[in-house]
Amino acid sequence: MEEFKIGDDFDEEGNVKEHKVDKKIIILIVIGISIVFGLLVFLVSNAIFGGHKDDTPVDTQVALTDENVQILYKYVAHKDSHGNDLFLRENNVTVDTFKDEDKLYYALQFVQPEELIYSEKTTDQKQKIYDLSISKIRKYLPAFFGNDINFTPIEELTYKFDFTINDLGVAKLTYNDEEEVYKVVFEKEEENEEEELVKPYYTELSSATKKADGTLILNEKVIYASSTKESDTYKINIYKDYQHTTLIEARQDVTKDDLNSNPISIEKYKDRAATITYTFKVKELNKTYYFAGSSITY
């Protein structure tokens, strides 16, 4: 007599039916077991090895060719063509360090040619007079300094724009309190009688770092130089600081041909150069950057 098992089925004659197991069902069962087993392994492994995961945000290096890096560095390196050496001479610079003249200087970097409106008037020398509204200046100040910035218009400033009007780029700005505009007159740039073979400083952007909170840090290498002409040669000193107290190198009997063929470069002095660190914070509203401070490390 055939043994009875739970789950057996019978035909009409009482014999046990034979069942053919569907292969698809077997495959599904195997897959299901594999998934459950894999999930268990993941949970156990994560509990053992993932419990001490370090979630501390890390700084990331940013390419020097990055668009934001290039734009921001242009703003602070603007001193190269305009002679504003605030970042070069002050060991620590904050927004409060800037005088109204400095603030105007940096706001003017954002001005576009079409914002200078011809007043239909000219000077006694027949130079056209353009109007630049003070409201434009107040609009551009936060672009560099952030929203918490105050400004009182200064009476006069000479500034070299990146563009030209009537082929002229150097402008004299005179404030008109009644109209609340700067009267702008463009003049021909004076040419240097003698070529500047030795500049007062040499700089180069060396690195850019983005902090976890979005802050962007730019590092710039800088050396300072002085020259004294002695007959047909030059005496050249390279310094680490603006005050010229730490000498890096002294060169004697340097000819003009020497300087033309082998000009002074910061590349040679990078390991001994000072570092200017610029900090730019992020505006939460529109995610743009503004200047927060700078410092010099010797």
Residue ranges with strand state E in 151-273: 156-165, 168-176, 181-187, 201-210, 216-230, 233-239, 247-255
In a 13 Å sphere around the CA of 51, the CA atoms on its Cβ side amount to 6
- 8 Å CB contact between 110 and 140: yes
Q: How far apart are CA 42 and CA 21, in angstroms?
A: 32
pLDDT of residue 243 exceeding 60: yes
Q: What is the pLDDT of residues 272-297, one digit of tens each?
A: 999 999 999 998 877 899 999 999 99
| CA-to-CA separations, 106 to 74, 95, 109, 161, 251, in angstroms, rounded | 11, 12, 5, 11, 36
Model-level pTM?
A: 0.77
> Which of 74, 54, 184, 212 is closest to 123 using CA atoms?
184
Q: How far apart are CA 281 and CA 287, in angstroms?
A: 9
Q: What is the pLDDT of residues 263-278, one digit of tens each?
A: 999 999 999 999 999 9
Burial 104-130 (b: 16+ CB within 10 A, else e): bbbbbbebeeeebeeeeeeeeeeebeb
> Please, which pLDDT band fits residue 240 given cuts at 50, 70 and 90?
very high
Q: How far apart are CA 160 and CA 173, in angstroms?
A: 11
Please, what is the average pLDDT of the chain? 85
60: how many CB neighbours lie within 10 A of its CB?
10
pLDDT of residue 172 exceeding 90: yes
In a 13 Å sphere around the CA of 36, the CA atoms on its Cβ side amount to 6
Q: Which residues have CB under 8 Å from 91's CB, separation 6+?
A: 295, 296
> Please, which pLDDT band fits residue 42 given cuts at 50, 70 and 90?
low
Q: How far apart are CA 222 and CA 240, in angstroms?
A: 8
What three-state secondary structure class fits 70? helix
- Domain assignments of the chain as residue spans, ordered by start: 94-187
What three-state secondary structure class fits 253? strand
